[in-house]
Structure 1
C-alpha cells in the first residue's frame, strides 16, 4: 500500500530535496505541502526544476488535513519544529530535519541553542536519526530527529574507531568543508555571490559550532567517558557536498580495517581502498558516503576522509531512509540512484 506523505516546510532546500526523492519512490506519494510565506503558490513557482510533477499547492500548516497522512517530514527552521510537532496528531509518525530533537539532554540543548526546550516530553521519545547506528530504534519510533549534516559526516568517519579503541580519544581533529546550501535558502549577506564566490572561510570556530553538541553526545556515549573533538567547519563556494578531513592518532592500516569491517554490509557507506581519498564530486546528488584512509608520513598518525551530499545523505536522503524503516519498507527504497557526475 502506498504511504501518504506530508512535507512541512517544502519551500526550503531540504523540502525540495524531499519532493525530488519521493517523486520516484514506489511506495510514497505526497498529499500535503506547507510553506508559510509561500502559501497559495505551486511548487513549480517556487522550484521550477519540479515543474513536471503533479503536486499539491503549498498551504499553511494550520490549513492542512493530517487525517490521511501516514508520515510527515518536518523541514522547518530550528526552534519552530518543537511547537509545530507538538500540535500534530499524537499518532502521526514524524521525521524532523531540524536540530530541535537531536540532543537528549535539555541542558545540552539550552547550552548549544541558547534557549530552553519547550517540548521536553517529545524530546524524551525522539530517536537520533543516524540510520546505520539506530535503525532498530528508528523502526519503532514515532519521532525521529535527523542529524546535523556536519555531525553525520564526522560520525561516519569516527564512530567505529571510537567503539573499537583504534584511536586516541584525546587527539581528534575534524577539519570540514561544507557547500553553501547547508546554510539554507534564507537571504544572508555573507552568502551573496560577490561575498562567497572565489574564496572560503571558517565559521563558528573555537568550539562554537552547534554540531559539537551532537559529537559530544554520541562520541561520549560510545566511549563511556567524555570525548571532546576539535572541529572547524569552512564555508565553500559550491552548492552541495561536505568533505571532512579527520586527523587521528592510530595505526593507519588498523583504522582502515576497522572502518571497512564496520561498514562492509552497509548499502550507502563505501570505504575506499587504502590510500585513496574521498571527494565530494563522487557523491553529489546521492545518498552514498565515501570514506578514505591515508597514513601520515609520521608513524601512528592517520587521516580519515568522509564525503557526503549535505542535502541528501546529510539531510533529506537520511530522512527518507529513516521514514522507510518507520513505515515498514525496505530501507534503501527510492535511494539507490547513482551520484551525478560531472
Structure 2
C-alpha cells in the first residue's frame, strides 16, 4: 500500500481546502465544497473565503445570508458553522443525537430529571409566534417550568440541540456587530429538515464520508469523526469503501480517499496563506500534524489565527489599528519574510475595504 508522507498529505490538504491556488468558484459553491466553515467568530469566515477565492467580495457572502441560501447554525462538533441551506437541511437530523450528548456532557447534572422532549416542545411553543429570540430570552421563557437547572443549561440545550435553529442576520454580516437571535431553521429557510433515515440505513453518513474526503482527504476514519463529532461512521465508511482508494501515512494509519481527488506532487510550491481563527483546514482532523507542528497544536483550539508558510503554520497574526501584525513561530528566510509581508498587505487592504494596507512582522516568539 502506498505510503503518503507528511508533505504529500500537506499538499493534498491545501489543494482540497482551496489554499494551494485560489479558486474561481462562486461563494456558495465554496461553502458547499468546504462542507461549511467554522463560524463561532462571525467575521472569520470572510477571511477564510478571501484566502481561498479569487476576487472574493464579502458582500456576496452577506447576500447569501440575508437571502437564506447560507445559514449560521450549530452542527459539526456542536460548534457554530456557516453552511448552505441545502446541506444543513440534509444533514441536521443525522447530528441530533451527537448534539444532545455534547450539551449533556456539559450540563448532565443540571438537566437531570428534565424530560428533553417536553423541553423541546416548550421551546417550540415559545417560538411559535415567529419572533426570533436570544438564548437567554428563550431559556427564561421556559424556566418557570424547570426552575432548578438554571437558564444557561436550558438555553444551550434548546438552541444547540433540541430545536434546530438558525442564527439570523445581521449576525454574521460583513463589518456588522450583532447579538445572536435564533429562529427555527425550517421556518427561516421555508423548508422542512430532512427526516432521519430508516433504521439500518445511513445515506447521510455515506454522503458525509464522500464530501469530507473531497474537502479534507486523504484521511483516516478518526479524522472524519474529529471533524463532525458523529458516532456510527464506521458503517458509513464500510458502505462506500468500494468507491475509495486506500493509502497509509508514515505512522501506519490507513487513509481513505476518493480515487480522482487531487493529490499534488509533494514538491508543489505552496503560497503564503492567512487562516482565520478555528479554520477547519486545521481543526478538521484528529491528526493535525499535516499543517501544524505538535508544539503549536494548542494554537488551533485557542482561537489563534495562523499564517501558512510553505504550507505549514509558521506564524500567528492579528490586527492592530488597521495593520496586520505577524508574529513568527520560527525564523523566516528573506524570501519568506517578503512573501508574508506581501500577502499581509493584501489582507490588510481587504480588511480596510481596499485602502492601502500596512503589515508588521514582529520578532519571533520565544
Fold match (TM-score > 0.5):
no
TM-score normalised by length of structure 2: 0.30
Which structure features the higher share of strand residues? Answer: 1
> TM-score with structure 1 length normalisation?
0.31
Name the structure, 1 or 2, with higher relative contact order (CA <8 Å, separation 6+). Answer: 2
Structure showing greater radius of gyration is 2
Higher helix share: 2
